Structure 1
């Protein structure tokens, strides 16, 4: 980083490394960068000491940052420890996710899914935070009650092989589709009937906003901040509830009529076109100051 700043002149450094932002901002300060932004995108639990360096590093951030940004209140409260910060919503191009029946049929044809199948979906990396083992257990319960159910999993990660093994052991291989990383998540969401997201913790997951923009009922855990429930489509459940209760709530969403929620997304401040203007104005004003 010293070499980098020796050879490049910047007015602003905007770091998205969560707790580890302290270090690039420290070097940026050393090299005279006037505007130094730390941006929180997640929350965690202080009792989780698996990453003690991260927990220590977050306390250094206010020393080196001139401005603090967060994707939401819970993420900001956790990382910045009582220091004031600005919430800048994670944002999407809402129009891209508008529900389209023709695209729904196209994607189902591509994935060899029947029009009558009940499709549950999830978008997220295969890591412990996303709670895939719990998700598979919920789907197993759903599948026992509706044999025409399918599960679409978008994403990759180190935990994927364990989840594949679990799916095989539960004899669900014919009903669970691993899609890997996709550049067309907006299309894949059209093919789903329910979005399931039982994370152990989150900042403010963009995938929930995307799913609501596509008109999908969303079943999320209480660990996901309530700020992401920007329409009446999102419902929160306790992870301590029995698996069968989660499954019953998912099954209740069968036959839900998809609706256009784009206006709700925009009014809630999650449209990227609005947020680009806000960030641009901040950058320009901060440099002028």
Structure 2
């Protein structure tokens, strides 16, 4: 094994409030920094809370020119950084073959291991994704994916390994006192709270969830929809809600740096995404012991408990409303504290970071940890 920790460049499009940023920070928090010396290279915005978290962990963030607005300057600066820092591993995170840009730069900089890491099961620029395939397959040395579906999307029939998303499970476990306090703060005592955590964007499909909730609300006067997050569709969704007869029962909480207490306040979790990789919010909701209703396009790798129900979006809002009502009848708050730790062990960051460390060592042909 080489002297000193292995330098690893974690390359991300941005370090905002999103799943990739959460994965990178959660993983870096648990990696043994005597063995791995990570630094984060960012081609976009950096959320202040994420910056503070990285600083507290002693992990440098190197901000480059904006990847989308100034791609030439971005790639030139990335080359300079890699030549100066000389990381043995360049770990590029994304959801399309545009990662070939960063990986090709890393190849020219003679980085030993160049990892393409898929975090989703589709992308917004499919034509470019297809056109870049020949460059992409020559640019990386190892493929990782958050789940099977995300891996097949990016690598097709080429090999890849699973590097599962992880969270601090203990932080999200059910706590009755936190539940009571949070529900009191939000004025939710006696309500049936349908919760959702995610960016307000097309992928997460909140318009569908709002329409489903309205059908629930017609028959259930205690039902409340709690939307946690922010994003480009916030104004549009608020206009949709403004004309709803149930506007007072649809709550836009906004973004949360730590949504753990909000999961405690919920009675169920809903995720009608159009597509996903391995959603961290669903891991958090399961850790909190919540019954979950999700779109059936979500990778089965993320289903860890018997409290997850998958339903096609094609079934429509009425079917989703009926399933929410069924969950309402069967949900029991006291059972949330009985969640089996063994079911959740595989998603705890202590485990997922160890998996990644072993993969790093394998990629460099070093002895792995048991």
1:246 match: 320
Retained in 1: the 8 A contact 2:95–2:122? Answer: no
State the alpha-carbon separation in 2 of the partners of residues 120 and 264 from structure 1: 26
State the alpha-carbon separation in 1 of the partners of residues 210 and 315 from structure 2: 15
State the alpha-carbon separation in 1 of the partners of residues 111 and 347 from structure 2: 30
Q: CA RMSD in A?
A: 1.7
Listed one character per residue, the Cα deviations across residues 120-147 of structure 1 (whole Å, up to 9, x for unaligned) are 0001111111111111101101111112
**Residue in structure 1 matching 2:355, options 264, 278, 285:** 278
Retained in 2: the 8 A contact 1:194–1:218? Answer: yes
1:12 match: 89
Aligned length: 284
Is 1:229 the counterpart of 2:229? The answer is no
**Residue in structure 2 matching 1:166, options 223, 234, 240:** 240
1:28 match: 106
User: Structure 1 residues 79 and 216 mapped into 2: Cα distance closer, same or farther (>3 Å)?
Assistant: same
Q: How does 1:113-152 map to 2 (within 5 A)?
A: 113-114=188-189, 116-152=190-226
Task: Please report the TM-score for the alignment, with normalisation by the length of structure 2.
Answer: 0.73
State the alpha-carbon separation in 1 of the partners of residues 168 and 134 from structure 2: 34
Deviation for aligned residue 1:61: 2.5
For structure 1, which runs of at least 5 residues remain unmatched after alignment? none
Retained in 1: the 8 A contact 2:195–2:263? Answer: yes
State the alpha-carbon separation in 2 of the partners of residues 251 and 25 from structure 1: 48
1:207 match: 281
User: Structure 1 residues 264 and 144 mapped into 2: Cα distance closer, same or farther (>3 Å)?
Assistant: farther
2:193 aligned counterpart, secondary structure: strand
Q: How does 1:193-204 map to 2 (within 5 A)?
A: 193-204=267-278
User: Structure 1 residues 58 and 152 mapped into 2: Cα distance closer, same or farther (>3 Å)?
Assistant: farther
Is 1:89 the counterpart of 2:167? The answer is no
2:313 aligned counterpart, secondary structure: coil
2:132 match: 57
Deviation for aligned residue 1:262: 4.5
Moved more, 73-82 or 250-259: 250-259
1:80 match: 155
State the alpha-carbon separation in 2 of the partners of residues 71 and 124 from structure 1: 18
State the alpha-carbon separation in 1 of the partners of residues 289 and 233 from structure 2: 29
Deviation for aligned residue 1:285: 4.2
State the alpha-carbon separation in 1 of the partners of residues 133 and 186 from structure 2: 43
